[in-house]
Structure 1
Amino acid sequence: MHLKAIIVEDSSTILETLIPAMSELANLEVVAIAGTAASAINALAQYANDWDVVVVDLFLKQGSGLEVLRACKVRKMNQKAIVLTNYATADIRRSCLVLGADAVFDKSTELDRFFDFCNSLGSSRQKNGSGLGDIAS
């Protein structure tokens, strides 16, 4: 069963490699891509009932991934917010978690952990039926 994902990323180079990898390695189906905070917030609203995971980069062409995290802080229990950034310092991780991120991963060193986390969400959904259950990072 595919999990539906919204990707918030402004780099076409990263998108070209990340989307196929997410499909193949994490069983994620991308339903929307946003390159700015405003377009990401619109996608969250437009697909409010149709996403399971939002993958957020922090530095965007316009706005910040932190704005996106604030916008999706109020979401269904089974919807997860994951930050995938090149700037996963201890302070950034803490800030993201306070804003409601379920997990924070570094793009350059933690992609395996990111894919494992996404797979755990899918496995949990299959075990629990329709919901993702209570998965903590």
Structure 2
Amino acid sequence: MSRLRTFIVEDNPTIRTQLIATLADLAQVECVGFADTEAEAVAWLQSHQDEWDLALVDLFLKQGSGMGVLAAVDQRPPSQKLVVISNYATRDVARRCRELGCDEVFDKSGDVDALIDYCQALR
């Protein structure tokens, strides 16, 4: 079974580490890189276009925002999925994220099982 090559955009090191470990163990996700700012995330995702299957994007970053990341990588192959993980996944936020090209939106604290299921379904 192939691993899902995933790039993580999250500025909290503790959350990022836990997310990487949880998804690796339960969903066969391979973290191919991470960024904690909008500029770093956009630069990596655009310069490594063939090296990721999934990007997990938090909305609030050390610099910039996840919304900026979504807008910058909205032109991608359908096989590459862009997913928001946020503690602020309200209905309005989710709608705006989808308008910017996001495939799914998950609440960081309450939707971890749903995120795992989503990742497993992509493999």
Shorter-chain TM range is: over 0.9
What percent of counterpart residues are identical? 46
In angstroms, what is the RMSD of aligned CA positions? 0.6
- Aligned residues of 2:46 and 2:73 also touching (Cα < 8 A): no
Stretches of structure 1 lacking an aligned partner (at least 5 in a row): 123-137
How far residue 72 of structure 1 moved from its aligned partner, in angstroms, is 1.1
- Higher CA-based Rg: 1
- Aligned residues of 2:8 and 2:55 also touching (Cα < 8 A): yes
Alignment-derived partner of residue 109 in structure 1: 110
Q: Does 1:76 align with 2:77?
A: yes
Q: Does 1:3 align with 2:16?
A: no
**SS of the residue 2:30 aligns to:** strand
Tell me which stretches of 4 or more aligned residues in structure 1 moved more than 6 Å: none
Distance 2:38 2:83 in 1: 15
* TM-score normalized with structure 2 length: 0.97
Stretches of structure 2 lacking an aligned partner (at least 5 in a row): none
**SS of the residue 2:17 aligns to:** helix
Distance 2:5 2:76 in 1: 15
Distance 1:4 1:47 in 2: 12
Q: Does 1:41 align with 2:77?
A: no
How far residue 9 of structure 1 moved from its aligned partner, in angstroms, is 0.2
Would you say how many aligned residue pairs link Structure 1 and Structure 2? Answer: 122
